[in-house]
């Protein structure tokens, strides 16, 4: 059985995309993990199925690189929007459904502007912030983000006694460059390694910086894979809404997967 696939990337966060509107993709953790393996497969941070959904342009179903179905992926969301546009499912604006609910997005040239879900489970401490921006994120601040052992420290927090029993968390290390400008490195749950960029993580870091420093929208965020922007609104009570992740996404190549019939 041959399955057409398309490889997309958004600021270095890369995904295998499959048009699964016919629901023929053979979902299994082992098969998806083998596709995402960077030595024995195509190689990707995750796999995304694009499926039909009533009242929406499409449904996004996201799987982590380990083959397990994942929580919302912001960069994956931007990439699947680009994929859907390339398939001709919409012109400039779209509405789709994902694991965390409804999303809207619009495309302007190379830039995807994706509306994110609202912040949940916000916890603020002296040394870090924790929040769910579609996926759970631990956000801590450092003097020099290039000098952080992201994998070892990140995995300790991800599997530690606080968040490990809850399924773990993504871990973000943030350096303030200047006003409204951050540099971020992220240990990603499911990938179990540092990623070039994490969209829900970038969103969490920008919102954390707003809460700590009172920054107005937008916030520019540098990642290993490139630059993203997070825009948001704040009401008179300080509540956040209209949260957008903004940045590029592109098709890199396409091919065929071989699956057992």
What pLDDT, on a 0 to 100 scale, did the predictor assign at position 119? 94
Q: Which domain holds residue 242?
A: 120-248
CB 169 within 8 A of CB 134: no
Is the peptide bond preceding residue 218 cis, with omega within 30 degrees of 0?
Answer: yes
Q: How many angstroms separate the CA atoms of 14 and 8, rounded?
A: 6
66 and 47, same structural domain? yes
128 and 244, same structural domain? yes
CB 136 within 8 A of CB 123: no
pLDDT digits (tens, 9 = 90+) for 23-51: 999 999 999 999 999 999 999 999 999 99
Q: How many angstroms separate the CA atoms of 91 and 98, rounded?
A: 20
CA torsion, ordered 84, 86, 88, 89, to nearest 10 deg: 10
How many domains is the chain partitioned into structurally? 2
97 and 24, same structural domain? yes
pLDDT digits (tens, 9 = 90+) for 86-145: 999 999 999 999 999 999 999 999 999 999 999 999 999 999 999 999 999 999 999 999
130 and 92, same structural domain? no
Of 11-20, 121-130, 231-240, minimum mean pLDDT range: 231-240
- CATH number, domain of 80, equals 3.10.310.10
91 and 11, same structural domain? yes
For the chain, give the DSSP string.
-EEEEEEEEETTEEEEEEE-TT------HHHHHHHH-TTTSS--SEEEEEE--TTSSEEEEEEETTSSB-S--HHHHHHHHHHHHHTTS-SSEEEEEETTEEEEEEEETTEEEEEPPPPEEEEE-SSEEEEESSSEEEEEE-S-GGG--HHHHHHHHHTSTTTGGGT--EEEEEEEEETTEEEEEEEETTTTEEES--HHHHHHHHHHHHHHH-PPSPEEEEETTEEEEEEEEE-TT--EEEEEEEEE-EEEEEEEEE---
Over range 202-207, report the average pLDDT.
98
Over range 76-90, report the average pLDDT.
98
pLDDT reading at 239 higher than 90:
no
pLDDT reading at 260 higher than 80:
no
CB 225 within 8 A of CB 186: no
Long-range contacts of 86-90 (CB under 8 A, 24+ apart): 86/6, 86/251, 87/19, 87/50, 89/57, 89/58, 90/57
Q: How many angstroms separate the CA atoms of 71 and 172, rounded?
A: 17
pLDDT reading at 261 higher than 70:
no
pLDDT reading at 173 higher than 70:
yes
171 and 125, same structural domain? yes
145 and 50, same structural domain? no
91 and 31, same structural domain? yes
239 and 130, same structural domain? yes
Active site residues: 73, 198
CB 63 within 8 A of CB 72: no
Residue whose C-alpha is closest to residue 8's, from 261, 187, 254 = 254
Percent of the chain whose predicted confidence (pLDDT) is above 70 = 100
98 and 192, same structural domain? no
| Mean pLDDT rounded to a whole number for the chain | 97
144 and 33, same structural domain? no
55 and 148, same structural domain? no
* Residues forming a β-bridge with 125: none
């Amino acid at each position: 059985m041959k399955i057409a696939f398309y490889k997309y990337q958004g600021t270095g966060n890369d995904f295998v995309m499959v048009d699964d509107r016919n629901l023929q993709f053979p979902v299994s953790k082992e098969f998806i993990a083998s596709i995402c393996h960077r030595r024995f497969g195509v190689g990707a941070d995750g796999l995304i199925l694009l499926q039909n959904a009533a009242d929406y342009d499409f449904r996004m179903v996201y799987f982590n690189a380990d083959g397990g179905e994942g929580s919302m992926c912001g960069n994956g969301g931007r990439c699947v929007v680009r994929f859907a546009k390339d398939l001709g499912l919409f012109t400039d604006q779209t509405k789709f459904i994902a694991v965390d609910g409804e999303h809207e997005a619009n495309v302007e040239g190379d830039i995807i502007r994706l509306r994110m879900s609202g912040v949940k489970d916000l916890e603020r401490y002296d040394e870090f912030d924790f929040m769910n921006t579609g996926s759970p994120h631990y956000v801590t601040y450092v003097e020099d983000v290039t000098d952080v052992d992201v994998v070892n420290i990140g995995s300790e927090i991800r599997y530690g006694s606080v968040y490990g029993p809850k399924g773990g968390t993504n871990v973000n290390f943030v350096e303030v460059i200047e006003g409204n400008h951050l540099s971020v490195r992220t240990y990603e749950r499911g990938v179990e390694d540092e990623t070039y960029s994490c969209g829900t993580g970038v969103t969490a870091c920008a919102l954390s910086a707003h809460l700590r420093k009172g920054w107005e929208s937008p916030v520019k965020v540098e990642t290993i894979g490139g630059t993203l922007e997070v825009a948001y609104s704040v009401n008179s009570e300080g509540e956040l809404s209209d949260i957008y992740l903004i940045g590029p996404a592109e098709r890199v190549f396409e091919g065929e997967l071989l699956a057992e019939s």
